[in-house]
Amino acid sequence: MIKVFYKSKGQILTTSDIKELTENLGFDDVLWIDLYQPESIENQVVEEFLETTLQSRAQAEEIESSSRYSESDNAIFANTDFISPGPDSYTEESVSFVISEGVLVTTRQAPLRTITEFQKRMSFSYKLYPTGYHIFVAIMENRVDLDADMIEVMAKEIESFGKKVSYAKKVNNDFLLNINKMQENTMMVRENIVDKQRIVTAITRSNKFPSDIRPRLDVLVNDIASLLNHTNFNFERLEYLQNTVLGLINVEQNKIMRLLTFISLLFMPPTLISGIYGMNIKLPIFGEAFGLRDFFIVVSVMLISVLIASFLFRNKK
């Protein structure tokens, strides 16, 4: 599907026949072309319109720094990943940006909240975005704002984990696995923010972006740096919680081992006494007349040894 944003009145046209549309349009008529799950013919028509080559999905997902942002004589290419939070884990969706002669083209394979929200905003305030450069920077600003909200939500989840640890509620192996999953999500968010930092830093060194965007880029760089600091703090906090949970689990295991050791030590003296005298006493159950007295003597000695051992252990704490 293709959405085309015009320069006049910010009008949007959604069509499946882009070829007929582009025959009557030029660079002065179009601001932004959004390609969502485009077909090969749609990519071909847009490439002919821009007089450049769009990047493939494999190129958009390339992790090399040289492939994330590049410039040619007549176009700018930028690739980044947008994170979508899910119920169990986060997913990354690649987005490719191409700016040629002031016209922005975005190519994506999944619906993204960042793009959808900005398209609604642009329909009401199209005069704020005179070129594709302004739209690209505005999309990055919107994405950074959503990343900030996502990090804030993660911070609240970490805070709830900390309260559970403080009150010793449900601190077990499952709780430890939840902390580990949160650590993985935090690392994914941090890597994604670093990727945007590389792109924005490359933009600040470019001579093709208009001068009125420079102040916004400086603010964007500072915002990304603050997000990285917040993400690092969240990760350090998760490590602290993980160490605390491991410590509590070790304490519980030590209590169990201490109890088992205490019980085994209490029964060591009776076991020794029964081993020495057990075979030499005539038990009353076999009809021996004098077995009852000897039996009670041995049992009494065993009980006294247990009491003495318990008294000594308690005094030694």
pLDDT in tens, 259-284: 888 888 778 877 777 776 665 556 55
Segment among 74-83, 219-228, 268-277, 302-311 with least mean pLDDT:
268-277
Beta bridge partners of 14: 3
- pLDDT interval class at 22 (50, 70, 90): low
Q: Provide the 3-class DSSP secondary structure of residue 95.
A: strand
Q: What's the pLDDT score for residue 268? A: 81
**Residue 199: pLDDT over 70:** yes
Q: What's the pLDDT score for residue 82? A: 86
Q: What's the pLDDT score for residue 84? A: 80
**Residue 55: pLDDT over 70:** no
Two tokens, residue 35: 């390609």
How far is 228 from 171, CA to CA, in rounded Å?
Answer: 29
Mean pLDDT of 123-143: 84
Q: Which residue has the higher pLDDT, 226 or 25?
A: 226
Residue with tokens 């942002």: 69
Q: What's the pLDDT score for residue 12? A: 55
Mean per-residue pLDDT of the chain: 78
Instruction: Say which CATH architecture domain 2-250 belongs to.
Output: 2-Layer Sandwich (3.30)
List CB contacts of 62: < 8 A, sequence separation 6 or more. 68, 79
Mean pLDDT of 167-190: 78
Strand-pair category, 30-36 with 103-108: parallel
Mean pLDDT of 64-77: 74
Segment among 26-40, 101-115, 181-195 with least mean pLDDT:
26-40
User: Can you say whether residue 10 is alpha, beta or left, with left for phi > 0 and alpha for psi between -120 and 50 degrees?
Assistant: left
**Residue 249: pLDDT over 80:** no
Q: What's the pLDDT score for residue 170? A: 62
Report the percentage of the chain scoring pLDDT > 90.
2
Q: What's the pLDDT score for residue 293? A: 67
**Residue 92: pLDDT over 80:** yes
Residue with tokens 């882009």: 18
- pLDDT interval class at 60 (50, 70, 90): low
Asked if 189 and 83 touch (Cβ cutoff 8 Å), the reply is yes
**Residue 291: pLDDT over 70:** no
Q: What's the pLDDT score for residue 21? A: 58
Mean pLDDT of 161-168: 72
Q: What's the pLDDT score for residue 269? A: 78
Asked if 236 and 269 touch (Cβ cutoff 8 Å), the reply is no
- pLDDT interval class at 237 (50, 70, 90): confident
Mean pLDDT of 125-135: 81
The domain spans of the chain are 2-250, 267-316
Mean pLDDT of 123-138: 82
Q: Which amino acid is at 312?
A: L
